[in-house]
Amino acid sequence: MPDERVPVLEVKNLSKTFLERDRGLFRRSANRAVEDVSFRIDTGETFGIVGESGCGKSTVARLVMGLERPTGGAVYFKGRRIDGLPESRLRPLRPHFQMVFQDSGSSLNGRKRVRDILAAPMIYHGAAARGDAPARVDELLDMVGLPKGVAARYPHEFSGGQRQRICIARALSLNPELIILDEPVSALDVSVQAQILNLLRDLQDRLGVSYLFIGHGLGAVHYISHRIAVMYRGRIVETGDSETLFSRPAHPYTRALLDAAPVADWAARDRARIVLRGEASGADWDGGCAFRGRCPYAGAACARAGCALKPAGEPGHFTSCVDAKAARERS
Amino acid sequence: MLSRRFPAERASPHSPARLMKGCCAMITPILDVQDLDISFLQGRKTLKRTDHVSFSVNPGEIVCLVGESGCGKSITALSILGLLSRQGRVTAGRILYRGRDLLTLDERQLDAVRGREIAMIFQDIMYSLNPVFTIGSQLVEVIRRHLGYDRKKAEALAVELLDRTGLQQPAAVMRKYPHQLSGGMRQRAMIAMALACRPRLLIADEPTTALDVTIQLQIMQLLKSLRDETGMAILLITHDLGLVAEMADRVVVMYAGQCVETGDTRRLLAAPAHPYTRALLQAVPGVHDARDRRLLSIPGAVPEDYHDMAGCRFAPRCPYSDVCGREAYVFEPEPGRSVRCCEAVAGGRDSHAG
Amino acid sequence: MRRYILKKLLLAVPILLGITVIDYLIMCLAGNPLDMMSGPRITQEAIAFKAAKLGLDAPVWRQYVNWLGELLRGNLGYSYKNYQPVSQIIGSHIGPTLLLMGASLLVGLAVAVPAGIYSAVHRYQKRDFAVVTASFFGSSIPGFFLALILVYVFTVRLGWLPSNANSMRLPGAGGSVWEVVKNMVLPVAVLATSVAGSNIRYIRSAMLEILEADYLRTARAKGIGRFRVINRHALRNALLPIVSVIGLQIPTLFGGAVIVEQLFSWPGLGLITMNAVLQRDYPVIMGVCLLSAVVVLAANLLTDIVYALVDPTIRY
């Protein structure tokens, strides 16, 4: 019986700094892609990470999957530390956490038929004998809402939405406890996006699988996540229950994101909102709040603020804004 | 209320073209697209990708052409300025710009319109601006071509334009290459380039799809303020219904190469007539939705080979297809709105179901 | 930029060294000049004497080190055959080779670039077809065969052009520029045909890719006219692949020149290299190898520099 108190995934103080050859022959600049990120995901829960380009959310996904080594911090899967494990020790654990990517076209091997794509992980990890594979493949296709007959086709014969279903089926083939989804619906049309989001929710209800859902579309992340973290330039600036976070945001950046997200409602058109100045600059972290260059509420205290998360009033709700209360009052 | 119905046909006084526009006869539209058919050559076959597309844009108005991928909205926009790729051609219809049919113009005459009267900006996928020329030289090029300024005057105007579009240190940006700017800055530079000659109409083909949402807000506010300042009309192509709500005065919804609904944004969002529009609005997840809200997912997918589909193209996926018998025609449920559907489903305010 | 060049130059030295080692090894594998000395009247002592005199009795690596040592002192050695200094031999023959190579490159590109662009702009039409077919012919026809045809037509039948340069005198020695040019036409035609043939298709496909680019659509939308769109926006981007092509041609030309020089008796390096190889004239062979390596590396460096100048997206 699984121990309900041990979170499926726990990330503590995760950091990743990339050294990039930026100038000249030998100098390199440090790119702090992820800085001090911590969160946990419990069984059957969806944790969403939302943020704009360059915020580090994709890097977090890669760190959790073990595709990159962290420069600091740790990743725990069901209590076991998995970051830094050599591939040979990690491999037996891989069936337990799987990943779905944004571009379904390039995630699937165009030269293999669907049935081979879906059967391969099962056969490799010994989850199914070669003879049982076709039956299992049919089962998986049914689970993701694809008709059985398509198993013999090639990926290019499918639409984007269908391909994404195949990717989800592949992820499910090993009965993982956790699926990491990196922008799975960003490249899909609205109607298809709705189908995939509903599918993911249904699968979670049926199978109890947890999700780490990474996206930049606030509506989609809100729909599927129980709890959400907002990232900006490598750091989590706010985290909390998805209800609370979007109705009572405690960080100006979250507020700005909400204001910027277009709403299909005429009444929302002329609402008062924050329009951020400029763009996320490449300036290095200097000990103050990374957001203060664009923040409309920036004050003197912000230059000395760290990026540590502080309670924002409600249980489970944290923010890194030093002036959280004031920010909330303005919203 | 009065609703007229006619089978889809072209060029008659009561043609769908006139009805689809949903505008009062008094204002002459700056752009009037009538019954546009665009076909593409694929191997030996000719595929009709748009069918009787009709809409208009009034001076100073922002009209959104909205639809999912493959519905034909982009090629419609490209055809206005004659920018279709080699395989594409307009096989029927008219595109009237201030009364002149752009399709009858030869390349030289069209060049006089492009960039000067009608300007276009594109989705910036890294290479919408020429990577080997500086921003300044690309701006100066269009200024000198249409306005005939000398180099100094043109450069001064270019700096002014870059400043107007919100770029910091515009003089420095002039000397930069596109790859040295961020996506948002490149889009602003493209907008500056488009506005150089004060066009009356700006066509924007998904200009912010590749940008972060906070940058998108900046760009959209910029476009709105430019419209307010200069009275320029904007035809905005997008797939984002939220953008439609924020930006558009009027909307044109496209599906499978046809216009399925047009009308005033406010009315359309409040009471969408076409089942597709309704379904789309219900499929968009919102940030303030209740936890137990279920997104509507439209069964099936957009037909890939819709080019010779007869009758209503949405019928296979429409929840009301048993009512309508799969026939569709264009009519006005109320003045200023038009729908391509059957009256039983979409006609009249009372027959709106959910 | 300076650092970039410096880095490349620094890298060139070990490369050059490596090339000479490999060249030397292969050369020794191919045979010994002493092997050429065989016959009833040649005694073992004579061979041994010659070997000692030429330093061929030492092990291969010592020979190489000796050669390298001499080289660093600026001495390329002396020909085994006629005891002339290698540097002088090369120096007196390199001019005509460079002239031939340079002219072929220019003519070849002058044909290939416009043809490739023309072909791409009119793609899939009959003219495109014609150009591509011609380029296939140009690149697949063997040099000697084309030379034969040209000699037949222009020397034998029409008598317009000489078929060999044996009687050509250089301007310094009583000849005229016109005479040199007349002798150059046929060999350049042969070399340029192969240059053009292989490059037309490369430039055509580079251009095709450029013609599909988004920025061309943006340029058209500005109303600046089709002419400007192609000849300014597209062409300027086409410079990049053209520049890399030029860099690649030079080593090829160097080799191709050997055959053509033989055929037309053109007094260049090709001629003496062939003879040196056949006679196992080590110093001359090494001298030419070294020169060839230097030329190729220099061509690559130049290409890199020009490329960096022409493409603003390259950071150095």
Instruction: Please tell me the pTM assigned to this model.
Output: 0.84
Positive or negative CA dihedral for C12, C14, C18, C20? positive
Contact predicate B33/B9, CB 8 Å: no
Contact B43/C at CB under 8 A? no
Chain A interface disruption, residue of B66, B124, B126, B217, most A CBs within 10 A: B217
Would you give the DSSP letter of residue B29? P
Query: How many CB pairs below 8 A link A and B?
Result: 124
Among partner residues B78, B112, B127, which is closest to C215 by beta-carbon distance? B127
Instruction: Please judge whether A265 and B285 are an interchain contact, meaning their C-beta atoms are less than 8 angstroms apart.
Output: no
Each residue's pLDDT, cut to its tens digit, for chain B (354 residues) gives 333 333 333 344 444 555 555 444 567 899 999 999 999 998 888 999 999 999 999 999 999 999 998 899 999 999 999 999 888 999 999 999 999 999 999 999 999 999 999 999 999 877 899 999 999 999 999 999 999 999 999 999 999 999 999 898 999 999 999 999 988 999 999 999 999 999 999 999 999 998 889 999 999 999 999 999 999 999 999 999 999 999 999 999 999 999 999 999 999 999 999 999 999 999 999 888 888 889 988 888 888 788 888 888 998 888 887 777 777 888 888 888 999 988 767 665 444 444
Longest dimension (CA), chain C: 86
- Per-residue model confidence (pLDDT) at position C2: 76
In a 10 Å sphere around its CB, with 0-12 CB exposed, 13-18 middle and 19+ buried, how is residue A190 labelled?
buried
Separate counts of helices (H) and strands (E) for chain B: 13, 13
Give the full edge-to-edge strand order of the sheet including B338-341.
B5-6, B329-331, B338-341, B258-264, B250-255, B62-66, B233-238, B201-205, B118-121
Chain C residue closest in CA terms to B84 = C217
Contact C314/A at CB under 8 A? no
Neighbors of chain A with 3 or more C-beta pairs under 8 Å: B, C
Instruction: Please judge whether C7 and A24 are an interchain contact, meaning their C-beta atoms are less than 8 angstroms apart.
Output: no
| Beta strand spans in B18-87 (E) | 31-42, 45-57, 62-66
Give the separation between CA C291 and CA C303, rounded to whole angstroms: 18
Short-list A150, A103, A98, CA closest to A125: A98
Reported ipTM: the value is 0.87
What is the number of other CB atoms lying within 10 angstroms of the CB of residue C38? 8
Chain B residue closest in CA terms to A195 = B297
Neighbors of chain C with 3 or more C-beta pairs under 8 Å: A, B
Q: What is the pLDDT of residues C143-164, one digit of tens each?
A: 889 999 998 998 888 888 888 7
Give the separation between CA C56 and CA C28, rounded to whole angstroms: 10
Q: What DSSP string describes C223-280?
A: T--HHHIIIIIIHHHHHHHHHHHHHHHHHHHHHHHHHHHHHHT--SHHHHHHHHHHTT
The model's confidence at residue A231, banded by pLDDT at 50, 70 and 90, is very high
How far B37 CA lies from chain A's nearest CA (Å)? 24
| Residue C82 Cα distances to A71, B236, B284, B337, C284, angstroms | 68, 82, 89, 99, 11
How far C7 CA lies from chain A's nearest CA (Å)? 8
How far C9 CA lies from chain A's nearest CA (Å)? 14
| Beta strand spans in chain C (E) | none
What tokens does A188 get?
């899909």
Q: Which of residues 6-25 of C touch A (CB under 8 A)?
A: 7
Among partner residues B116, B130, B132, which is closest to C219 by beta-carbon distance? B130
Give the separation between CA B331 and CA B309, rounded to whole angstroms: 20
Contact predicate C108/C249, CB 8 Å: yes
Question: What is the SS3 string spanning chain A?
Answer: CCCCCCCCEEEEEEEEEEEEEEECCCEEEEEEEEEEEEEEECCCCEEEEECCCCCCHHHHHHHHHCCCCCCEEEEEECCEECCCCCHHHHHHHHHHEEEECCCHHHHCCCCCCHHHHHHHHHHHCCCCCCCCHHHHHHHHHHHCCCCHHHHHCCHHHCCHHHHHHHHHHHHHCCCCCEEEEECCCCCCCHHHHHHHHHHHHHHHHHHCCEEEEEECCHHHHHHHCCEEEEEECCEEEEEEEHHHHHHCCCCHHHHHHHHHCCCCCHHHCCCCCCCCCCCCCCCCCCCCCCCCCCCCCCCHHHHCCCCCCEECCCCCCEECCCCHHHHHHHC
Contact A56/B at CB under 8 A? no
Q: What is the pLDDT of residues C38-96, one digit of tens each?
A: 667 777 777 777 777 777 777 778 888 888 887 888 777 788 778 888 888 888 888 88
Amino acid at site C280: R
Chain A interface disruption, residue of B165, B169, B239, B288, most A CBs within 10 A: B288
What tokens does A48 get?
């969403």
